[in-house]
Structure 1
Amino acid sequence: MISSLSNQQIKNLTLLLKKAKAREEQGLFVIEGPKMFEEAKEEKLLVKAYASESFFNEITSQNPQYFNHLDYEILTDTLFKEVSDTKTPQGIMGTVKWRKDSLEQILAIPNTCLLVLEDIRDPGNLGTMIRTAEGAGMTGIIMSSSCVDLYNPKVIRSTMGSVFRVPVYQAEDFIDTLYALKNKKIALFAAHLDGKPYDSEGSFIRDCAFIIGNEANGLTEEVSSMADFQIKIPMEGRVESLNAAVAAAILMYEAARQRRTGNLTENDIR
């Protein structure tokens, strides 16, 4: 049983929780909680488990084989609370392999419908977008290199496991990546305050991508100018815009609705 913060494994676990550079160098990130732990096991991405003493005793009393075939360590309850990134630790953590998705893999998925993110900085927003993308049936997510780290612990928690299943590609050259989408005849719809209502700018049944910008500043002019259509969500009252994750959810689920009903309009031929 490990009881000290000076233990080398615990030092590394803390490093993975706090430093994006360490996560990148090791190709690992940290998950917490039974739900995420079970999903990581199911996806065969789990590298090592770390359990608090009380969690270990409780779970093995119910299922003695729970940790069979797993590489694991037991931590004292006090140490586990010190290491955990959450206010109310649930007794189980694990290190998990990065999922590597290439642009080519994402673009090879049929019936393309992508979420493209420029400079999203809030971990909760990014995690919510990934979770919503899975629910709405999006085929992948493309992020600019300036977005918050995909494997930030707050991002991971917000995805509720969707990070294991949604293809995500982080573009080193965001503009070149947008050109690659255009070359594939993927219609680019940029969420923009100066755009037209989204229900007036063609359908989302064709291969398409929604581009969502930074929470405070929106999309850069260069990215906006590359879009085939600039769209907005109609607002009542004095509201000018919505939270980036909420706006993305509305657009993704509108695409899902159109694809589910399959009702074509005259705009589909654009």
Structure 2
Amino acid sequence: MPDPISSPQNPRIKALVRLQQKSAERRQQGLTIIEGLRELTVARAAGVAVPTVYVCPELLSAAGRQELQQALAPETEQFEVSKAVFEKVAYREGSDGVLALARAPQRRLQDLALPANPLLLVLEAVEKPGNLGAVLRTADAARADAVIVCDPRTDLYNPNAIRSSIGCVFTVPVVATSREELLAWCRQHGIRTYAAALTPKAKPYTDYDFRGPTALVMGTEADGLTPELMQACDETIIIPMRGYIDSLNVSTATAILTFEAIRQRG
């Protein structure tokens, strides 16, 4: 292993900071940053290529070091960094001393290998990485077939989305697309679309049968679904609210609808 990196001005460290802070840099290089041994282990188990890993010996335990070596491919470059340097590039508190460069999977709708009866989660214009990450955890837990993001306002492999999903962004097929492409693709594959929206024609989600090919379509917390996407969906559904508020966090609402679909499917 090369000598430890102790200067924040090291070109490799500067490049890491740019990747962490700039989505354009991540897109251009096709790379993202994974922080944390657990997230890295999940990504490697999902087959994600990890060309480079940075380790802070002061933060990573001996058991963690052994687990890391078992997860990495033999060709992965490894560098040790000082605690001060690691804290410069880390994006969360209490990190365990592992940070990796990973190749972000690139998928299109056409790349999805769907089963005969798919269950899809659709997010429109998601802008908070934390919400995206939470939905991905739900998708992984429910074994949903894909998460599709229409017109995203955050990149799918934002380091904070990786963190909040605990690496599930790598275990669930994720695709970014446009509203028009999504609707045409769903029609082509016979997938029924259910828009979650508070409208006069919406019916409780328990009134519907989600056992067929299903896409649960969710909007942003601030604005909900755009009228164009809402009107183009086959059905409009609501989660009945019994208190004073009329909506839930989008990740919570997605979890409720997803597990109702799973319950119906047995």
TM-score of the two chains, using structure 2 as the length reference? 0.91
User: Which residue number in structure 2 is paired with residue 87 of structure 1?
Assistant: 93
Whether the aligned pair in 2 keeps the contact of 1:187 and 1:207 (CA below 8 Å) is yes
Matched, 1:26 2:33: no
CA, structure 1 residues 62+256, in 2 after alignment: closer, same or farther (shift >3 Å)? Answer: closer
Matched, 1:163 2:169: yes
Whether the aligned pair in 2 keeps the contact of 1:191 and 1:212 (CA below 8 Å) is yes
Whether the aligned pair in 2 keeps the contact of 1:121 and 1:215 (CA below 8 Å) is no
Whether the aligned pair in 2 keeps the contact of 1:119 and 1:214 (CA below 8 Å) is yes
- CA RMSD, 1 decimal: 2.0
Alpha-carbon separation, structure 2, partners of 1:152 and 1:252: 24
Matched, 1:7 2:10: yes
Alpha-carbon separation, structure 2, partners of 1:81 and 1:220: 40
Out of 242, 249, 261, the residue aligned to residue 248 of structure 2 is 242
Q: Which amino acid counterpart does residue 178 of structure 1 have in structure 2?
A: L
Alpha-carbon separation, structure 1, partners of 2:87 and 2:217: 39
**How far does the alpha carbon of each residue in 1:10-54 deviate from its partner, in whole angstroms, 9 at most, with x for none?**
111111111100110111100111111222333242121000132
1:250 is displaced (CA, Å) by: 0.5
Whether the aligned pair in 2 keeps the contact of 1:117 and 1:147 (CA below 8 Å) is no
**How far does the alpha carbon of each residue in 1:71-128 deviate from its partner, in whole angstroms, 9 at most, with x for none?**
1111011111121111222101101111122212326333211111111111111100
**Equivalent pairs, count:** 258
User: Which residue number in structure 2 is paired with residue 268 of structure 1?
Assistant: none
**How far does the alpha carbon of each residue in 1:160-217 deviate from its partner, in whole angstroms, 9 at most, with x for none?**
121111011100x3223212212321110000111111112x3000001011001101
CA, structure 1 residues 88+209, in 2 after alignment: closer, same or farther (shift >3 Å)? Answer: same
Matched, 1:37 2:40: yes
Q: Which runs of 5+ in 1 are unaligned?
A: 261-270
Whether the aligned pair in 2 keeps the contact of 1:131 and 1:160 (CA below 8 Å) is yes
CA, structure 1 residues 224+64, in 2 after alignment: closer, same or farther (shift >3 Å)? Answer: closer
TM-score of the two chains, using structure 1 as the length reference? 0.89
Alpha-carbon separation, structure 2, partners of 1:226 and 1:60: 50
Alpha-carbon separation, structure 2, partners of 1:228 and 1:61: 51
User: Which residue number in structure 2 is paired with residue 183 of structure 1?
Assistant: 188
Matched, 1:50 2:54: yes
CA, structure 1 residues 159+241, in 2 after alignment: closer, same or farther (shift >3 Å)? Answer: same
SS of the counterpart of 1:96? Answer: strand
% identity of equivalent residues: 34
Alpha-carbon separation, structure 2, partners of 1:64 and 1:254: 37
1:58 is displaced (CA, Å) by: 3.5
User: Which residue number in structure 2 is paired with residue 17 of structure 1?
Assistant: 20
Q: Which runs of 5+ in 2 are unaligned?
A: none
Matched, 1:211 2:217: yes
1:55 is displaced (CA, Å) by: 4.0
